[in-house]
Structure 1
Amino acid sequence: PNRKLPLLRAPQQEGWIYFSSSIYYVSTEKKNWTESRDDCRERGSVLLIINSREEQNFINMWRKYQEVWIGLGDSETEGVWKWVDGSELITGFWRAGEPNSKGDEDCVINEWNWADYPCNSQFNWICEKRIMTI
């Protein structure tokens, strides 16, 4: 177990935060959804996948009142929300009245709760890297 400690420390020094079995990176700039997803891939991670209320609450502590892209969209099939890893949405934390698909809103931001938004909008984003699997 001691061999893993330096691995945990290194990402945190680069702006990564640890929670549960993942580490998270909160961007300091704004990009569109696709650029945000690609940035996460370049960091060896994925655009944030939220699996629980605990994770949602944790993310809300770290996004500093910014709207952030998460790795959820319905660009393949309208109304079928999928995560960037291809899994379908099971539990969502939508804001009241969302998703509303007004216009072309195929991507999702987290602003305390979730809202669908046009994918070419510019927001900060959060990357997630799983560090242990059970």
Structure 2
Amino acid sequence: MSAAKVEEASMGRVKADLTTLDCLQEVEMGIKLQRKCLRTVCSGPLAKSSWCYIMMMVLIVALIVVFVVLFLPVKKVIERHGPCYDTCPGKWIGFGRKCFYFSEDMRNWTFSRISCITLEAHLAQFESLEELDFLRTHMGPFNHWIGLHRESQEQPWRWTDNTEYNKIVLTRGEGECGYLSDIGISSARDYTHRKWICSKSNRSTVQCPEILNQGE
């Protein structure tokens, strides 16, 4: 936390303490006034009536209310600094800002790409080694098609959105379509049947409230 935020938090606590002190002083003054009124009423001609008992009950109830308001912890809502992402639908698995779907069928690369499009997604692509490790952990013992492809061996690898692959992991083989295996990224011809992975952005973001006690 920065020095400015620490100073701001400290000033807030000081103001809260001063406010509480002022309230206590006002309560104490009110109690003294009520006691004075009780002595006046109960020492007069109404001393033997039920009026004194009513005033005593009012004083007790007022004291209980004041102490409940002042000393019970008050909860307040503090927003987190970052967005919170909704859970992924159905059989999709979330990682970071993405949702991933691991197919149960086995088809060629082209069919796999179309299948992802029908799910409003695309064949999976990864942007970091952490994301790649996540995919390899969840794919099981089967190889899975991903979104890497190229026109020929002389052309660079690209994702299905036509962005060029950054070669974070080298691709083995001489095929035109990339798939994820237990040893990394390999390539094969389009007609080979494999499982596939779809991915899409989790665009449903909301601010997540965090409930904290006032004293925290």
TM-score norm. by structure 1 comes to: 0.82
Partner of 1:8: 87
Corresponding letter in the other structure for 1:67: N
Q: State the 1:106 CA deviation.
A: 0.4
Cα offset, 1:130, TM superposition:
0.7
Q: Does 1:42 align with 2:118?
A: yes
* Aligned alpha-carbon RMSD (Å): 2.2
Equivalent residue for 2:192? 121
Asked whether 1:23 is paired with 2:109, we answer: no
**Structure 2 residue 129 is the aligned partner of structure 1 residue 57:** no
2:176 to 106, 111, 117: 106
Distance 2:113 2:169 in 1: 20
Do 1:52 and 1:91's aligned partners in 2 also have CA atoms closer than 8 Å?
Answer: no
Helix, strand or coil for the counterpart of 1:56? helix
* Partner deviation per Cα, 1:35-67 (whole Å, 9 max, x = no partner): 000000000001001111000000011100210
- Indicate conservation of the 8 Å contact 2:153/2:176, yes or no: no
Q: Which residue of 1 aligns with 2:212?
A: none
Higher radius of gyration, 1 or 2: 2
Answer 1 or 2: which has greater helix percent: 2
Quote the Cα distance in structure 2 between the aligned partners of 1:92 and 1:74: 16
Deviations 1:67-91 (A, max 9, x none): 0000001126733100001100103
Name the CA distance, whole Å, in 2 between partners of 1:34 and 1:50: 19
Instruction: State the AA in 1 paired with 2:109.
Output: W
Higher relative contact order (CA 8 A, sep 6+): 1
- Residue identity matched to 1:66: F
**Native 8 Å contact 2:129 2:168 kept in 1:** no
Unaligned runs of 5+ in 1: none
Alignment partner of 1:33 is 2:109? yes
**Is the Cα contact below 8 Å between 1:16 and 1:24 reproduced in 2?**
yes
Q: Helix, strand or coil for the counterpart of 2:106?
A: coil
Identity score, percent: 26
Tell me, which stretches of 5 or more residues in structure 2 are unaligned? 1-78, 205-216
Relative to structure 1, is the Cα distance of residues 108 and 21 closer, same or farther in structure 2, using a 3 angstrom cutoff? same
Matched, 1:74 2:144: no
Shift in Å, 1:116 = 1.0
After the TM superposition, which of the residue ranges 86-95 and 114-123 deviates more from structure 2? 86-95
